[in-house]
Each structure stands twice: as C-alpha cells, then as structure tokens.
Chain A
Amino acid sequence: MKSLHLVVTAVTGLLLVLGSLDMPDTGDRRSPPATNVSPRYIESGFKETAVPNMVTAVLADYRSFDTLGEVTVIFTGALAVLLILRSGREEEDS
C-alpha cells in the first residue's frame, strides 16, 4: 500500500512538472497574459474602477472570485487547526 502511495505521488509530481514546462517564461512579453489581459488592466483599470492601486484593482475587483477563495481557504484552514487543537480537551472556557 505504501509503495502505491509513492507511485501515485511520483506520477502526479511528474505530470505537474511536465505541465509546468510549457509555461511561458517569467517576464516574457509575448506570452498570452502579457499580450491580452495585462494591457487591458493597465490602460482601463483606473478608468473602470477609480482605484489608483492597480494590484488591488486586479486582486479585489477583476479577480474578486479568486480572493474570495483565498479568504475561504484561510477560514477553513483556521477552523481545521482549531478543531485539531480543541479535539482532546474538555470545554472549560467559552
């Protein structure tokens, strides 16, 4: 059973590495994101959102769903940690 886990982990890792080989280089100006969405954010970001901080405009407006997911992950993670920490313990304080 343990060797099966190892095989599954190795295969998944290999697939992920293979997938990442096709990613465009960091800072590549001809990559699809740099030619499509980035100019759009830079040109019309302030006009559309009236927010001078472009990073926040992308993070909290254009990709708000993503940030909602991040917050949910933090919430869920904290809940899991709290459940583990409180699991073997009597409820002595509220």
Chain B
Amino acid sequence: MNPEPQDLIVRTVCRRLAPFIQLFGLYVIMHGHSSPGGGFQGGVILAASFILLTLAEGAEMVQRRFSAATLTVFMSAGVLLYAGIGVVCLVLGANYLDYGVLPFLEPRSVGMLVIEIGVGSTVMAAMLSIFRDLLTF
C-alpha cells in the first residue's frame, strides 16, 4: 500500500479540514470528564486526521513528520503518564491512582484529565505507527 498524492482539490480540502479534525480530537480528550468522549475516542480522531492527510498527500508526509521512534516515544509516554500519576498519588500518601491527594483545586478532575491525555497519546501513537508500518510493508 502506497498512496499517491491526490489531485489539487482533494489535497486542499483535506489540508483545510485536518486542523479542525485535530482541534475536535483535542476537545474530545480535554472534555472527556464533562461530556461524552475521552482519551480513547479523542486519540482515534487525532490519528484519523493524520491518516486522512496521508491518504491525500501521499505516504511521504507521515513518514517525514513522524519517525517511528517519535511514535514509539508517544506510545510509551502515554502509559507512563497514566502509571506515573498513580505513583505520584502513592508518593503523596494515598492509594495507587487515588487522585484525591493531588495538590489542585479539583484534584480528581485534574487526575482524570491527566490520564485521559495519557490514554489519548497512547491510542493516537499506536494507530499511527501501525498505519505507518503498513504503508511501507
């Protein structure tokens, strides 16, 4: 599978559309705790925007923007962020992943936001790196 660059109309529309899709993906991640959504869904939307760009612009774009190493770092960093916030809670004297002790105004809300970001990072990078490897398979 090696998508060729599409014609000008398709490329322009996809390039104009992608930032809005990415913004929506970030919104879904950030608002996971107050509206439907969360890290899993937002991460997939973010990855889908890059996949759309790749299908329009050709395989070279995603390979240039995201090296395999970068994606692996994002993938691991998400899990690490999730597990790390649990360890922070542990250090602050509560149970693992018991966000109540975090030093914020609404600690549980903030804790959930952090783990949603971690989940989003992992899901996005996992989708993208599988897609990236399939491109050059």
Measured CB to CB, the residues of A under 8 A from B are 48-53, 55-57, 59-61, 64-65, 67-68, 70-72, 74-75, 77-79, 81-82, 85-86, 93-94
Contacts and interface: CB of A to CB of B under 8 A. Distances in A.
B25 interface: no
B116 interface: yes
Given A71-B119, A71-B122, A74-B122, A53 B35 contact: yes
Interface majority SS (helix, strand, loop, mixed), chain A: helix
B130 A78 contact: yes
Contacts, number: 96
A86 B130 CA distance: 10
B82 interface: yes
B33 A57 contact: yes
B75 A78 contact: yes
Contacts of A85: 130, 133-134, 137
B79 A71 contact: yes
Interface stretch (B4-12, B15-23, B50-58, B103-111): B103-111
Interface string B96-137: 110100000010110110011011001101100110011011
A82 B33 contact: no
Nearest to B78: A71
Contacts of B134: 85
Most chain A CB within a 10 A radius of its CB, from B79, B108, B112, B125: B112
14 contacts: A49-B108, A52-B34, A53-B36, A56-B32, A60-B112, A61-B99, A61-B108, A64-B86, A67-B82, A74-B122, A78-B130, A82-B130, A93-B68, A93-B136
B78 A50 contact: no
> For the side of the interface on B, what is the size category?
35 or more
Most chain B CB within a 10 A radius of its CB, from A68, A72, A94: A68
Interface in B47-84: 63, 67-69, 72, 75-76, 78-79, 82-83
B108 A51 contact: yes
A15 B66 CA distance: 46
B42 interface: no
A79 B126 CA distance: 8
Contacts of A65: 96-97
